[in-house]
Amino acid sequence: MSKKYRNPPIMEVVCEFRFPIETPWDITIPGLLYEKVKEKFPHREPRIIQHMEIKQARREVEHKFHTEERIFFFDSSKKTFIQAGHRILSINRLRPYISWNEFKPNIEKAFTSLLDIVNVKNLQRIGLRYINKIEIPETSVDLETYFEFRPFLGSKLPQNIVDFIVGCMFAFNNGQDMCKVELKSAVPDTPEHNAFMLDLDYFLAKPQTVSADQALEWVDDAHDKVEKIFEGCITDELRKIFGEE
């Protein structure tokens, strides 16, 4: 059974589906999708999204910027929303986080509504990402007290860390799935506190190995994996700050 917290550190949850190039797509799809979800997501807003692509040659690093138009469908709170782009469907939830049992039906509604419009066979990529901002009410923090996942410093190195970033990639299901885990220092909301970003990004690493019929089951399994990784990253002292119930 998953743990529950009165003050969860989750800033944003993103569940994203990307569809392969052979998936039929045209400019009418976002409008058709809106008609199916507008009862729960009545507020529609177009936005331009900018992406940066990094390509590294032997001696040079090339940065390319791409822009893409997406249509956002917001619920009445503006905290939960759907994004529809070119062969992309994303469902987001901002702080304050609702439970998985409350958020998951939004994913199911958006995805099944799209399947009613578009013939999808396999998924190019699926991702479930949890972005956590952890604030500790101390001016100086011993990372070992609060984090099981943290940078390691040898005895010959200075121990007073001012800023850091540490990350790794875990493989699941024989390499079909990956989870990128990253912890870094952040700017606290309250002066004299310390803050950290814990980013858990679980995704399908082998394109088109999950069919449309399997996608929602994959998302459920991904959530279980992410939850276990999150709990594995933190200590009981941090659970006290979150208000474990």
Tell whether 206 is covered by a domain: yes
50 confidence band (pLDDT: 50, 70, 90): confident
> What is the value of pTM for the model shown?
0.92
148/217 same-domain check? yes
37/80 same-domain check? yes
Q: pLDDT for 58-103, tens place per residue?
A: 667 676 777 888 999 999 999 999 999 999 999 999 999 999 999 9
In the chain, the number of structural domains is 2
Tell whether 203 is covered by a domain: yes
Tell whether 19 is covered by a domain: no
107/163 same-domain check? no
243/156 same-domain check? yes
State the pLDDT at residue 51.
67
Domain endpoint, select from 119, 142, 163: 119
Tell whether 72 is covered by a domain: yes
pLDDT at 153 over 50: yes
52 confidence band (pLDDT: 50, 70, 90): low
Tell whether 124 is covered by a domain: no
pLDDT at 1 over 60: no
171/217 same-domain check? yes
State the pLDDT at residue 58.
65
DSSP class per residue in the chain: ----BSS--EEEEEEEEE--TTS---TTHHHHHHHHHTTT--EEEEEEEEEEEEEE-SS-EEEEEEEEEEEEEE-TTSSEEEEEETTEEEEEEESSPPPHHHHHHHHHHHHHHHHHHS---B-SEEEEEEEEEEEES-SS--HHHHBSS-----TTS----SS-EEEEEEEETTTTEEEEEEEEEE--SSTT-EEEEEEEEEEE-STT-SBGGGHHHHHHHHHHHHHHHHHHHB-HHHHHHHTB-
Host domain of residue 191: 1-7+130-245
